[in-house]
Structure 1
């Protein structure tokens, strides 16, 4: 009233809220003018009608002097005392026989208090509804979480249980079980490792079976070779006694060598023999061959005493010497020479049987070494002695040991025998065999 403001509509003082601010000079702080803005009260009404506090709750505004800025038509507003709103932003008061929850918040920009009034019954109902909704949402969440956990747990447990069943079957001896998985996750990788492990076990069992079979066959062949020597040993002992009666020294020497050959070869059925006895066996064989090939060959033994105190598989040198005579010395022109030597190298004993005979052609030498290394099977027409010695050593001690053949065609051949150092006659071979089986 009296502001001289012209508008297209006429508003009374109760229809507007006037906001007034002085305009001052920034340097002198002199008031230069006043800015006045009129806000229609129905704007507040529209805002607060959209902010309903339950069914009968309402909102009103007080200024810094406690005067009402805006209020809906409601008689409860005039029953709310200013002192109720001093200390606690939320109080419960009884008005006209009903309890009301009064909430307020300060609006610092204009020093207003925005006050909400909710009947206590509505307030409790809101709390109860909220508690009920929270409980329902919690139950639904727990049910969904349990179903999801059960589903995901089953996706993990099911293949694990399947893998456990397969393991029990493999444990009972069925090595044909395989784990089939469509996924490539950790369970799939575990199943792949299980399949690989079973396949390796199956291969190792077959390998051990074949090696044991070969070993038994080799032992049977050696046993069969010993049957006749045992009979001949007894017979030759009688012949030697008779030759002594007739003073036939040459015959006595040959028969004595042959008797030693058979006696040492039998070795009371033991597989291991001292190197001293094995060398003596080889010397007896050479004495017999010297009488047969008189003037055709000579031999030399270079075995240190420190080597002779160890043990070795029996009948391993004689086949190598026989091979040198029949395939080396016998095939050359003129007189030949065989040299047998030995040395200790790290944890092995190494024998070398050298001859200056006819030698071996390169392609045949390569074929022999491939067979000795296990890279190729021995043909039926191939010689028995050399490969039998190699198989016996490798089946007992492993593929790191055995024979190696070196030759230059027309100049001679060298066969190297690599054997582990064995200190005792019976215990060490058992230890080596067990260690070899674990290595496989």
Structure 2
């Protein structure tokens, strides 16, 4: 006997219901897996950024202490006392008075910080008695396990966790370095910078946000400097985890903690300055709790009815994802193009709050970029002012002496001309106008300088200045030509024992650059010496003369500070027999190449 057939309505209803349930179930399962992975990635990225920011903030604090301590150890009196004590000479400085002096210097710089110095004879000097180094004797300090590592760091600061003494043993942060004598860089003593670990912990505690995670900071020796669980501070870190960090493994991985014995996600950041490792642990529940709620709601939605669920899911998915998608696109534009606040109204309070925070972040980012740009410009301008302020006094002395003897010889008119030339030269050098001048103005300054030098050296000095037509109106840096000619005379021609002195100045255009070549027939340099000199000039390691003039390295730094990295100077062997220097800076407008390309060669850079 056949069963009674089911109505089509029931079959369609059952079929649509089953298909809908299957589609919703599969969709929710896939969505659950995808959402879990996305949330895990986002949590990992967010935590990694937080860890890196915390590590950077610790570096800033310790670098500030490092810089402040250098003001003490590089003080002339401190350097002299430590050098005399280590060389076996009789030290004129009383140890107690010297310690008081260090204390005064430290109090002017930072409170709550101890600076303890040992000279090479083992004598100790402390900036304060309220906070003391745990190892009061040099033999005790030098026997600490990390002392040998500090000795190998060539004067750099080693930051570690260790004990200090303040009415009893307390945990502290210790920075240790070898002190070098500034004149010849030999070791003259040891410096120990100490401050209580509570100061670092307060700073970190204000930075770490209250989310479900544990944060630790570990020093290079594997000691826990900070932890959100205060009982772990000062203890040795998990050796397996410490070894994993030392091997440079992935920044995000699973790990079973030694303390809790549970599996957690771990992310970390290692500081290149201190060698400290900042670690964040977070439980899987913190990642998957929201996705579990989504799964429960999906099951309830299926039970409530496929049709209603589909409509509601479609409606609410659209209304929720549209503003979030728009926000994500706005976040992706950051760093690639201009980003502006969003002026829209939303029915959801949470979405409105999210966009309010986004708009606040955009405004703060614009303000920060503007402030950083202004600071960078201010720094560059200050560097230019400092470089411009230098002037070679020996030239002034020689010129005044020459004028004096000219007057003594009864050549009043020549003395007047030299006095006017020197006056105009000095006025141009220190005139508080723009850093940029016309090339003809700088050529006039060069001619005034050469007039005084010809008056001094006579016919032995021969200078040929060749300027390509049309370049006199180009804008160049003030005092660009005179230092090059002055260097050629002082370091090239004055070293010659006999013969005429010849200098050639060639100014031309090449492509979009203005090139200035100054060469002489002086003693010159061989290829290796010239290469070493050019490297020192470009690395700003060129020692200036005792009179402190504008040298090649300063001129190169000035050009790069004003125009950027592609510009500056280079050296070449002059056909005249001496040394040549080529300066390059941008033209106001690109013009045809010059006939001097054969002399300069290449692209003139």
Structure 1 length normalisation: TM-score?
Answer: 0.50
Indicate which of 524, 537, 553 corresponds to 1:387. 553
Aligned to 1:47: none
* Alignment partners' CA distance in 1, 2:16 and 2:440: 95
Aligned to 1:338: 503
Aligned to 1:159: 41
C-alpha spacing 1:124/1:407, structure 2 compared with 1 (3 Å): closer
Aligned to 1:275: 439
Aligned to 1:99: none
* Contact map agreement 1:354 1:415 (CA 8 A) in 2: yes
Indicate which of 20, 30, 36 corresponds to 1:148. 30
Aligned to 1:362: 527
C-alpha spacing 1:402/1:127, structure 2 compared with 1 (3 Å): closer
> Deviation digits for residues 378-413 of structure 1, max 9, x if unmatched?
144678511111111111112222212112699212
Secondary structure of residue in 1 paired with 2:416: helix
Structure 2: give runs of 5+ residues left out of the alignment.
60-207, 209-249, 255-330, 336-370, 590-605
* Contact map agreement 1:218 1:388 (CA 8 A) in 2: no
* Alignment partners' CA distance in 2, 1:282 and 1:139: 90
Secondary structure of residue in 2 paired with 1:319: helix
CA drift at 1:145: 3.6
C-alpha spacing 1:360/1:164, structure 2 compared with 1 (3 Å): same
* Alignment partners' CA distance in 2, 1:138 and 1:329: 95
CA drift at 1:156: 2.1
Aligned to 1:328: 492
* Alignment partners' CA distance in 2, 1:325 and 1:395: 26
* Alignment partners' CA distance in 2, 1:135 and 1:260: 98
* Alignment partners' CA distance in 1, 2:472 and 2:15: 96
* Alignment partners' CA distance in 2, 1:207 and 1:410: 45
Indicate which of 452, 458, 482 corresponds to 1:288. 452
CA drift at 1:331: 1.1
> Deviation digits for residues 74-122 of structure 1, max 9, x if unmatched?
xxxxxxxxxxxxxxxxxxxxxxxxxxxxxxxxxxxxxxxxxxxx3x63x
Write the mapping of 1:418-437 to structure 2, written as runs, cut at 5 A: 418-422=584-588
Indicate which of 352, 358, 366 corresponds to 2:517. 352
* Alignment partners' CA distance in 1, 2:468 and 2:10: 104
C-alpha spacing 1:352/1:250, structure 2 compared with 1 (3 Å): same
* Contact map agreement 2:44 2:252 (CA 8 A) in 1: no
> Deviation digits for residues 220-274 of structure 1, max 9, x if unmatched?
1422549x99xx9xxx9xx99xx8xx87011112112211211222344321111
* Contact map agreement 1:358 1:410 (CA 8 A) in 2: no
Secondary structure of residue in 1 paired with 2:458: coil
* Contact map agreement 1:267 1:273 (CA 8 A) in 2: no
Indicate which of 464, 469, 483 corresponds to 1:319. 483
CA drift at 1:280: 0.9
Indicate which of 252, 256, 260 corresponds to 2:416. 252
Indicate which of 303, 307, 310 corresponds to 2:474. 310
C-alpha spacing 1:162/1:286, structure 2 compared with 1 (3 Å): same
CA drift at 1:150: 2.4
CA drift at 1:170: 9.6
C-alpha spacing 1:342/1:252, structure 2 compared with 1 (3 Å): same
Aligned to 1:49: none
* Contact map agreement 1:361 1:409 (CA 8 A) in 2: no
Aligned to 1:378: 541
C-alpha spacing 1:327/1:126, structure 2 compared with 1 (3 Å): closer
* Alignment partners' CA distance in 1, 2:23 and 2:507: 84
CA drift at 1:303: 2.2
CA drift at 1:314: 0.6
* Alignment partners' CA distance in 1, 2:10 and 2:543: 97
Aligned to 1:219: 385
Secondary structure of residue in 2 paired with 1:277: helix
Secondary structure of residue in 1 paired with 2:471: helix
CA drift at 1:143: 3.2
* Alignment partners' CA distance in 2, 1:221 and 1:291: 28
Structure 2 length normalisation: TM-score?
Answer: 0.38
CA drift at 1:214: 6.7
C-alpha spacing 1:211/1:363, structure 2 compared with 1 (3 Å): farther
Aligned to 2:465: 301
C-alpha spacing 1:260/1:143, structure 2 compared with 1 (3 Å): same
* Alignment partners' CA distance in 2, 1:347 and 1:138: 69
Aligned to 2:76: none
CA drift at 1:160: 3.8
- For these two proteins, the number of residue pairs brought into alignment is 274
C-alpha spacing 1:143/1:282, structure 2 compared with 1 (3 Å): same
2:557 aligned with 1:400, yes or no?
Answer: no
* Contact map agreement 2:516 2:584 (CA 8 A) in 1: yes
* Contact map agreement 2:380 2:562 (CA 8 A) in 1: no
CA drift at 1:312: 0.6
* Alignment partners' CA distance in 1, 2:483 and 2:464: 17
CA drift at 1:347: 1.9
CA drift at 1:290: 1.6
